Amino acid sequence: MTLKYVATTCPYCGSGCSFNLVVQDGKVVGTAPYRRSPVNEGKVCPKGTYAHEFVNSPDRLTKPLIKKDGKFVEATWDEAYDLIAQKFKSYKPDEFAALASARVSNEENYLLMKFARGVMKSRHIDHCARLCHASTVAGLAASFGSGAMTNSIPDIAESKCIFVLGSNTFEQHPLIGRKIVQAKLNGAKIIYADPRYTATARQADLYMQFVSGADVAILNGMMQEIIKNGWEDKEFIEKRTKDYEKLKEVVMKEDYNLENVSKISGIPVEQLKTAAEWFGTTKPGAILYSMGITQHTVGVDNVRSVANIQMLTGNLGKPGAGVNALRGQNNVQGACDMGALPVVFTGYQKVTDPATHKKFADAWGFPDGICEPKNGYEVTVMMDVLTDNPGELKCMYIMGENPMLSDPDLNHVRHALESLEFLVVQDIFLTETAEMADVVLPAACYAERGGTQTSTERRVQMWRKAQDPPGEAKEDWQIISELAAKMGYAKQFPYQDIEEIFNEVAALTPSYHGMNYERLERPEALHWPCPTTEHPGTPILHREKFSHPDGLGVFAPIEWKPPAEVPDAEYPFVLTTGRVLWHWHTGSMTRRSETLHSEVPTGWIEINPEDAKALGIKNKEIVRATSRRGTVNVPAKVTPDIMKGVMFMPFHFAECAANILTHNALDPIAKIPEFKACSVKVEKITEA
């Protein structure tokens, strides 16, 4: 028997923890602590602990599958590539769209981006960041000139006042939660605002429960109170920002005095006062936020309000401060950095900028050119175009995403995907989306490959191969390269190994320019921006100036607006959705992990005891939840942890899918859907 440890980074959340994979006779059999990572120092959450369990699941895809007469038939790689190449060639550039993946490496996202824009010459590439932090990318870019988390994870422990808003950090970024505990042990005050009394709420010194969708009102109210008391950082505002007067005009309005904010949000005035005082007077103060802020039709407004309060209090560019937008998936930061977005190439270089377009066209050397220098469609817009403009988009290539469970309004998504002429899905399991494909390609998983991923704190870290892929499954970069070669572009995809792809990325991307595998091998890796090979990387952004050309941060006057759908007599409850500690999104991996699955085998809807009583519903009873989009039957969880009038469902479970109910009302700028607020009714199921 041979036994070895392979240090790698976690395939789940954007915290970017490291652990060892335990390999016995060439097969991954367990995990063990890797103590040298400054992020998690050997600790992991349950998903990290059991991250080996799905790897050798008997359900892994092992061969390409081609659908014939409605049934999948196993095929050789050549058969699959030939069919895909022949089909892909038959479409005009903008009839093709690609979805990249926050689950795969930087190199592979870069390659799919190059495939879409170079081989297919299509403008349409996006990925699940659209459903996640699109509001952050747009909002922080407008406020600061750069759309990423401003500080580092270890730095959170330095804070003296942490305001967590719309992030259930202890369940969704547990090892960042650990930094909150460390700060607390050093005397920091913790403020938490969330419609649910979550695991994170239990750690807070001040917990404010409120109705989903009130965030701008709460932040404006706190800012008014801070200004009224003279707690604003006058020097920071004067030297480092502009448009403060415009902000003041809005936040000082009567509408945002604490009495009015209390009416909108349901938070008692005294709590709002305390929050403003603590945050206004305790330095340094950090804000941590995630989906509770971004997944709204006012997602960008919410993000800009968070940026406003941090500029107002001078909490930027310093240790223990910052706007800490906690990015969700292991490599969602990287997929964005790699230009798997419809408006940018790598490093946020704009597609519409002629010099940038020429730079990529020249570097790639496609004899027949690349896509036009025009923005493409966002994934949410792709789905609308598919249903509303039949024939405009005809064919899609989806790598490592499962929109048939993760996108809003699943009946709409089904309709959209059914209207495609040709769909290719590349995954490690036969997901709900893969079931709908014409061709399914089997990919290697994280444990079977190298490459890099970029965590929420912009730390670029390595994956390391621990075992061979099952059956004939291949690494995503190999599949994309081989397909490109079949389509006549072997010269543009000449890679012998994944490191060559990274070097191409570094050459084309200023913020990754100084990185290479040798430097990234170190346990602490490197934070971007890292412009030269001598540069130590940048854990804290905006120290001296912001990333706008004039170096100034921009205040934005933001008015509060209610969600797109508000409760009425027919649909009287606000439904909000999210996650639980034990499961990951559409469950493709965690529901195939024995330990995680046995801990939480199915979904539920959280109902406040008063609402349950009025509806005649008992705990654990199966109830019918209905929105304007659809109906699901789901077990009730009657709990005082959820606010009266609000209900919560995790979206991991296909048998009671929350996204049947959600709707795809979008933020006008970020095109992110309003996953965090829609209206539902809930009924007792009476015997027929």
Tell me which residues touch ligand MGD (CB under 6 A). 13, 101-104, 128, 131-132, 165-168, 171-173, 193-196, 198, 212-213, 215, 290-293, 295, 328-329, 399-403, 406, 426-429, 431, 443, 445-446, 476, 576-579, 581, 583-586, 588-589, 651, 658-659, 662, 675-677
Rounded least distance, CB 128 to Mo ion, Å: 6
Least separation, in Å, of the C-beta of 340 and ligand MGD?
12
Pairing of strands 65-68, 439-442: antiparallel
Is residue 34 a contact residue for ligand SF4 (CB under 6 A)? no
* Distance in Å, CB of 53 to Mo ion, minimum: 22
How far apart CA 549 and CA 98 sit, in angstroms, is: 33
Question: Quick check: 357 binds ligand SF4 (CB under 6 A)?
Answer: no
x/- track of binding to Mo ion for residues 115-144 (CB under 5 A): -----------------x------------
Cβ-based nearer residue to ligand SF4, 175 or 574: 175
Query: With CB under 6 A as the contact rule, which of the stretches 7-15, 104-112, 287-295, 492-500 interacts with ligand SF4?
Result: 7-15
CB of 174 to ligand SF4, least distance (A): 4
Choose from Mo ion, ligand SF4, ligand MGD, none: what does 492 bind? Cβ within 5-8 Å by kind.
none
15 binds, among ligand SF4, ligand MGD, Mo ion, none (CB under 5 to 8 A by kind): ligand SF4
Cβ-contact 236, 314 below 8 angstroms: yes
Nearest to Mo ion of 132, 541 (CB atom): 132
Element (H, E) at 241: strand 241-242
Q: Which does 44 bind (CB under 5 to 8 A by kind): ligand MGD, ligand SF4, Mo ion, none?
A: ligand SF4
Q: How many CB atoms lie within 10 A of CB 352?
A: 12
Give SS3 for 20: strand
d(CA 223, CA 32): 46
Stretch that binds ligand SF4, among 11-19, 283-291, 537-545, 614-622 (CB under 6 A): 11-19
| 12 sits near ligand SF4 (criterion: CB under 6 A) | yes
Q: Which is nearer to Mo ion, 145 or 328 (CB)?
A: 328
| Alpha carbons 35 and 33: distance in angstroms, whole number | 6
Q: Which does 275 bind (CB under 5 to 8 A by kind): ligand SF4, Mo ion, ligand MGD, none?
A: none
Q: Which residue type sits at 125? A: I
Q: How far is the CB of 411 from ligand SF4 (least distance, A)?
A: 31
Alpha-carbon separation of residue 497 from 108, 471, 500, 534, 627 (angstroms) = 12, 20, 6, 25, 49
| Closest residue to ligand SF4, based on beta-carbon distance | 48
Considering CB distances under 5 to 8 angstroms, the limit depending on partner class, which of ligand MGD, Mo ion, ligand SF4, none binds residue 313? Answer: none
Q: Which two tokens stand for residue 462?
A: 């390595």
Range list of H helices, 229-290:
234-240, 244-251, 258-265, 269-281
Q: Write out the two tokens for 525.
A: 């890796």
Residues 35-64: x/- map of binding to ligand SF4 (CB under 6 A)? Answer: -----x---xx-xx----------------
Residue 463 interacting entry, from ligand SF4, ligand MGD, Mo ion, none, C-beta within 5 to 8 Å by type = none
| Binding track, positions 165-184, relative to Mo ion; x by CB under 5 A | --------------------
- Between 164 and 480, name the residue whose CB sits nearer to ligand SF4: 164
Least separation in angstroms between residue 343's CB and Mo ion is: 19
Q: Please tell me whether residue 106 adopts helix, strand or coil conformation.
A: helix
Q: How far is the CB of 134 from ligand SF4 (least distance, A)?
A: 21
User: What is the greatest pairwise CA distance in the chain?
Assistant: 73
Joined tokens for residue 314? 């001078």
Q: How far apart are CA 207 and CA 333, in angstroms?
A: 30
Residue 10 binds ligand SF4, judged by CB under 6 A: yes
Q: Does the protein bind Mo ion through residue 400 (CB under 5 A)?
A: no
Binding mask 135-174 for ligand SF4 (x = CB under 6 A): --------------------------------------xx
Q: Are strands 605-607 and 573-578 parallel, antiparallel or unpaired?
A: unpaired
Which helix (H) or strand (E) element contains residue 135? helix 134-144
The verdict on 403 binding Mo ion (CB under 5 A) reads: no
CA distance 102 to 479: 17
Judged by beta carbon, residue 178 or residue 542, the one nearer ligand SF4 is: 178
Neighbours of 374 (CB within 10 A): 12
How far, CA to CA in Å, does 58 sit from each of 128, 470, 593? 27, 10, 11
In the stretch 291-330, what mask flags binding to Mo ion with x, by CB under 5 A?
A: -------------------------------------x--
Dihedral angle sign, alpha carbons of residues 311, 313, 314, 318: negative
Answer yes or no: are the C-beta atoms of 288 and 164 closer than 8 Å. yes
3-state helix, strand, coil in the chain (%, to 5): 35, 20, 45
Find out whether 426 and 400 touch, Cβ atoms under 8 Å.
Answer: yes
Which residues on neighbouring strands pair with residue 287, listed in sequence order? 163, 323
**Shortest gap between Cβ of 403 and Mo ion (angstroms)?**
13
Q: How far apart are CA 108 and CA 501, in angstroms?
A: 8
How many other CB atoms sit within 10 Å of the CB of residue 403?
Answer: 28
Report in angstroms how near the CB of residue 146 gets to ligand MGD at its nearest.
19
Find all residues with CB under 8 Å of 469, minimum gap 6, and list them.
442, 443, 444, 445, 448, 449, 475
**At 298, which amino acid appears?**
V
CB of 132 to Mo ion, least distance (A): 3
Residues in binding contact with ligand SF4, number by CB under 6 A: 14
Task: List residues near Mo ion by CB under 5 A.
Answer: 132, 328
User: Which residues of this protein are in contact with ligand SF4, per CB under 6 A?
Assistant: 10, 12-13, 15-17, 40, 44-45, 47-48, 173-175
